[in-house]
């Protein structure tokens, strides 16, 4: 039986609907259980319910063979995982955002620029690539406040509908990456449990195409 890490929270509902469509319906509704492991009705997989940010570590260490993980979380974790499939849901963009007047001043800010983010590793890497020295403040949510109230010049965050930025007077200044839910796979499991993992990937691939 394959163990699949499933994120609680933001992508959980979509992940459950997608896995059900692919023939791996959980044996009980995930939103209504406090259990941390739940088997699928078909008996071929067991779901491990984890905080999204922890999923890459569980998969990298082999506690889970694979998992459904947002590309944003994978980028931040930098874990050594295989990523064979874009599952096509939970689409969003990783962006640099800030107050509109910063658009004109991007290269003229006093150094180092201040950046607030739930994704400090991605933020550091992005500004380093541009050759812009930065100080990154790691926040865990409501990151927009950082830019609105002056903690930071910029935020690096995900944008889905754009509503949160708009309602707080912020704009997208740069695009970093397109993000969506991915199937991430432990390296050893990919080789040691080839048949099982390939069968799962094929079935999920069909569901993506439907």
Binding site for ligand PRP (CB under 6 A): 10, 141-144, 157-164
Q: How far is the CB of 2 from ligand PRP (least distance, A)?
A: 27
What span, in angstroms and rounded, lies between the C-alpha atoms of 199 and 27? 20
Nearer to ligand PRP by C-beta: 8 or 203? 8
Q: How far is the CB of 146 from ligand PRP (least distance, A)?
A: 11
CB atoms closer than 10 angstroms to residue 72 = 23
Nearer to ligand PRP by C-beta: 10 or 21? 10
Q: Is the peptide bond between 112 and the residue preceding it cis, with omega within 30 degrees of 0?
A: yes
Nearer to ligand PRP by C-beta: 93 or 125? 93
The dihedral region occupied by 33, where left means phi > 0, alpha psi between -120 and 50, and beta the remainder, is beta
Q: How far is the CB of 179 from ligand PRP (least distance, A)?
A: 11
What span, in angstroms and rounded, lies between the C-alpha atoms of 144 and 150? 10
CA 109 to chain centre: 30
Q: How far is the CB of 184 from ligand PRP (least distance, A)?
A: 19
Q: How far is the CB of 60 from ligand PRP (least distance, A)?
A: 23
Q: CB under 8 Å to 154, separation ≥6 — which residues? A: 96, 97, 98, 102, 113, 114, 115, 116, 147, 173
Name the residue whose CB lies closest to ligand PRP. 141
Pull the structure tokens for residue 16.
Answer: 């459950």
Nearer to ligand PRP by C-beta: 31 or 163? 163
Q: How far is the CB of 201 from ligand PRP (least distance, A)?
A: 27
What span, in angstroms and rounded, lies between the C-alpha atoms of 50 and 112? 36
Nearer to ligand PRP by C-beta: 111 or 161? 161
Nearer to ligand PRP by C-beta: 82 or 177? 177
CB atoms closer than 10 angstroms to residue 12 = 17
């Amino acid at each position: 039986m394959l163990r699949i890490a499933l994120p609680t929270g933001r992508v959980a509902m979509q992940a459950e609907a997608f896995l059900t469509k692919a023939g791996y319906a959980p044996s009980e509704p995930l939103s209504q259980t406090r259990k941390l492991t739940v088997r699928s009705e078909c008996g071929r997989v067991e779901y491990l319910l984890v905080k999204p940010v922890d999923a890459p570590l569980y998969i990298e260490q082999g506690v889970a063979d694979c998992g459904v993980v947002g590309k944003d979380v994978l980028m931040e974790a930098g874990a050594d995982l295989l990523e064979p499939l874009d599952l096509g849901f939970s689409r969003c963009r990783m962006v640099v955002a800030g107050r509109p007047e910063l658009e004109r001043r991007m290269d003229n800010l006093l150094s180092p620029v201040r950046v607030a983010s739930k994704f400090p590793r991605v933020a550091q890497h992005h500004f380093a690539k541009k050759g812009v020295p930065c100080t990154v403040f790691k926040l865990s949510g409501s990151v927009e406040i950082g830019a609105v109230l002056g903690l930071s010049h910029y935020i690096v965050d995900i944008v889905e509908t754009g509503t949160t930025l708009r309602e707080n007077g912020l704009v997208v200044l740069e695009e970093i990456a397109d993000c969506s839910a991915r199937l991430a796979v432990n390296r050893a499991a990919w080789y040691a449990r080839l048949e099982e993992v390939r069968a799962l990937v094929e079935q999920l691939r069909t569901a993506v195409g439907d």
